[in-house]
Amino acid sequence: MVARAVAARHPEVSARFVRSDEAFGLNPKVANLVSAVAAAKHDLVHQSDGNVRVPPDYLRKIVGEFVAADASVLTSVVVGVGERSWGAALENFQLSGFIAPAMCLALEAANITCVCGKSMLLRKSELERDLGGLASVRDVLCEDFVLGERYKALGKTVLLSPTPVHNVNVSCGPDRFFARHSRWLKMRITLHLPGFVADLGSNPVALSALAILASGFDPFLSTVAVGMVVTKAVLDHVAIRLVREPMPLRYAWLGTLKDLALFPLWVNAIFSRTVVWRGRRLRFGKNTQLVPIDEPSAVADVAPRVR
């Protein structure tokens, strides 16, 4: 295994491997994390997803930011990189051209820090003492955002680090993009309705297409709408260029396609609260609390995965 090979090359760094309990809860990521957090030797704990790449000095920087602000949780801006397929390019367009700028805009314009589980730094003792530990979100789909909101409700400091992390999406099909963002929009409407509505307002490509159809392809309105689409495409590439290398030219047109594809997913999120996540059909309610629809057989018999 890659992780064990890395640990073997660096015996000077203490490393432990723990097993996750897939029967712990309906959120498999939380099930993976709970054993790891319990095994942590120190109070300050950092977690990141397996497809996240960080700079060599990342931990030094974020711990400094965390301590200086006397924060309870630190999260980072997420940038998508590494695309070698259309599906991966769609993912990275959304992450770099929308999600990263939206996280910064929410903080600067509305003083809202959106906690993203791609990278989180927190105190183990505080999580257990004040929030009831990870067990309190084991059946929550959007556990990172919910934990962040609970910290805020307690008057704790939640910090967005200016040091970005890179979410590496290299090769995947468009189906993964559609599944992920369909799920994300359903979470969005459940967690923050104003933000969900604002998502449509930030999609002038879909609104322009609707305007053209509604006008019966009126020449003047169509010209204005096409101008808005072109402007949005240029702004997307400017936003991407601010956080990473330019998107390869062969994928440049996918930003417009991505915005058009997101509109039916946005509409579907108004009516649907059902998702398929890692092979399980789930329904969620307030704050993305999960309820299984089709309980898989012999869940407890599934071999735990090593993390």
User: Which token pair is 165?
Assistant: 């992390």
- Greatest mean pLDDT among 105-114, 235-244, 294-303 lies in 235-244
Q: Which is nearest to 113 in space by CA: 157, 83, 79, 155?
A: 157
**CATH code, residues 19-279:** 3.90.550
**Three-class secondary structure of residue 78 per DSSP:** strand
Whole-number pLDDT of residue 3: 84
In the sheet that 274-277 helps form, which strands lie side by side, from edge to edge? 274-277, 280-284, 290-292
For 281, other C-beta atoms within 10 Å of its C-beta total 13
Convert the pLDDT of each residue in 151-182 to its tens digit: 999 999 999 998 899 999 999 899 989 988 99
Whole-number pLDDT of residue 192: 86
Kindly report the average pLDDT of the chain as a whole number: 89
Whole-number pLDDT of residue 300: 37
Please say if the pLDDT value at position 299 is more than 50: no
Going 59 to 65 to 70 to 71, the CA torsion angle's sign is negative
Convert the pLDDT of each residue in 260-297 to its tens digit: 999 999 999 999 989 887 777 889 888 899 988 865 44
Q: How far apart are CA 298 and CA 231, in angstroms?
A: 53
